[in-house]
Structure 1
Amino acid sequence: MPDVSLPDLSGIVAVVTGASGQVGHGIALRFAQAGAAVVAHYHRDQASAENLVHRLRETGAAALAVSADLSEERECHRLVAAAVDWGGKLDALVNNAGVQPVQELAGMSVADWRAVVDTNLTSAFCCTQAAADAMRASGGTVTHIASIEATQPATGHAHYTASKAALVMHARNAALEYGPHGIRVNAVSPGLIHRPGLEQAWPEGVRRWEQAAPLTRLGRAEDIGNACVFLASPMAEWISGHNLVVDGGVGAHPTW
């Protein structure tokens, strides 16, 4: 039974990449709670993905865990094919898989750069291309998980911020080109999302965030899931090429 507080996604087949991670877990759970059948992608953490699928099934949703290395083009296409084979179609894709290492730009190698860009950006390009082929006949939605760092640089995050900025523009361009086929493409840019132990590992950063954010708290994974469910729903049927910032209002905080 879908959660009545969410748009009804009953009958929708959705793929969430990076679903074994915290944000991906939250996105997949909200899709399931909205009534969607969910393909939960993971790369290495099989136990976490299987635990997630068990939890999704407890909500009454159909769910499947699929492993793929999305830095490989053929693996992106295999993931989409597995979803279509399982669900009979594909209606929604959330490109959430990503990494966020911290490394100074001066000492960054090309290999370091490519490892982040291929995981965060190229995988979304390949998965979107594969998904669009599957959606071409009946339409669908694609949502990229970008970041507020797409427009705000951070020391040690040059490869990450560049990849997220590119995701926002890729979403706009894909919206332009795939729109005539009934495919909507958007981005969601989260702010700082709470994770266990964050306050202990980075107390000063958490304190600064809470002081800067008008809503006075860190984000939760389900906040991002809510945004993704909305964008995949009929309520957003005339929204495409948009970057939805989900940051508790921190972007409105003055910088002077």
Structure 2
Amino acid sequence: MSERGLLHGQVALVTGAGGGIGRGIARRFAEEGAAVALHCRTSTESARETADRIRASGGAAVVLRADLTDEDACRRVVAEAADRFGGRLTALVNNAGVQPVRELAGMTVAEWRTVVDTDLTTVFACTQAAAELMRDQDGGGTVTHVASVEARSPAPGHAHYGAAKAAVVTHARSAAQEYGPWGVRVNTVSPGLIDREGLADAWPEGVRRWRQASAVGRLGRPEDIGDACVFLASRLASWVTGHDLVVDGGVSARPTW
């Protein structure tokens, strides 16, 4: 990997790195010179394949498995990521999450809590653990939450998901204020629709509408979100904190009338 990359010398933990967006973020961090700890809960094989690709290209990568809805597991993963790379952690990307579809009328409290615990509470716990570690090291660090355009414009059937992502954006703004004196910057990236294998077949009408609405005429790619996260973790964003960076191909800029 590059010795002149934007993240040369950094150590990053990417949660949910077994999924498409997480893999894209991990690859881009490694390409820019960071050592990467890839967290996964169930997609172990996918995370390992990504780590193998990073190492084959000359980078450093490890895979850490945990259920982050357990607070102790959050602290363990953060600590282990640092331990694997010399005791430092300079960047955390909170990407782990779920996105089930469920109408409000039939939604149970248990279903609501599953999304909130997975998409929001893990962000709180991992950020708290990482900030405490970053506070004691030279140069501080960065935390980036992967939110969603649904934080502002939730789709039907996604009330729990939209509410959790809106809270993630607000958490970042609060954390930016409180952790700023510790040398820790906290931001969010809000993706639009990101392409994945089989999506066009599973949701052809939605894909068609997204492409039509996009100012650049395409869906997003995992690497697009990785690029945004790299920027926020780099020195280029040294005066950027508490910000929500929307990465949706211009769809949200489109008038609704």
- Give the shorter-chain TM-score range: over 0.9
- The aligned counterpart of 1:147 is 148
Does structure 2 retain, via aligned residues, the 8 Å contact 1:171–1:186? yes
Q: Is 1:107 paired with 2:106?
A: yes
- The aligned counterpart of 1:60 is 58
- The aligned counterpart of 1:116 is 115
Deviation per CA, 1:116-136, whole angstroms, max 9, x where unpaired?
A: 000000001000000001100
Give SS of 2:252's match: helix
Q: Distance in 2 between matches of 1:141 and 1:38?
A: 14
After TM superposition, give the deviation of residue 45 of structure 1 in Å.
1.8
AA in 2 matched with 1:67: R
- The aligned counterpart of 1:78 is 76
Give SS of 2:97's match: coil
- The aligned counterpart of 2:163 is 162
**Mapping for residues 100-249 of structure 1, pairs under 5 Å:** 100-137=99-136, 138=138, 139-249=140-250
Does structure 2 retain, via aligned residues, the 8 Å contact 1:99–1:116? yes
Give SS of 2:164's match: helix
AA in 2 matched with 1:217: R
Structure 2: where are the runs of 5+ without partners? none
AA in 2 matched with 1:202: W
Q: TM-score, normalised by structure 1?
A: 0.97
After TM superposition, give the deviation of residue 58 of structure 1 in Å.
1.7
Deviation per CA, 1:25-73, whole angstroms, max 9, x where unpaired?
A: 0000000000000000000122111111101112211100000100010
Does structure 2 retain, via aligned residues, the 8 Å contact 1:3–1:33? no
CA RMSD, 1 decimal: 1.0
AA in 2 matched with 1:2: S
- The aligned counterpart of 1:27 is 25
Does structure 2 retain, via aligned residues, the 8 Å contact 1:53–1:64? yes
Deviation per CA, 1:166-188, whole angstroms, max 9, x where unpaired?
A: 00000000000000011000000
Q: Distance in 2 between matches of 1:241 and 1:198?
A: 32
AA in 1 matched with 2:199: L
Q: Distance in 1 between matches of 2:43 and 2:95?
A: 15
- The aligned counterpart of 2:2 is 2
After TM superposition, give the deviation of residue 3 of structure 1 in Å.
8.2
Number of residue-to-residue matches in the alignment:
254
- The aligned counterpart of 2:256 is 255
Deviation per CA, 1:205-237, whole angstroms, max 9, x where unpaired?
A: 111111111111000000000000000000000
Q: Distance in 2 between matches of 1:3 and 1:119?
A: 35
Give SS of 2:220's match: coil
Deviates more, 1:144-153 or 1:41-50: 41-50
Q: Distance in 1 between matches of 2:45 and 2:202?
A: 25
Task: Determine what percentage of the aligned residue pairs are the same residue.
Answer: 63
Q: TM-score, normalised by structure 2?
A: 0.97
Give SS of 2:96's match: coil
Runs of 4+ off more than 4 Å? none
After TM superposition, give the deviation of residue 153 of structure 1 in Å.
1.8
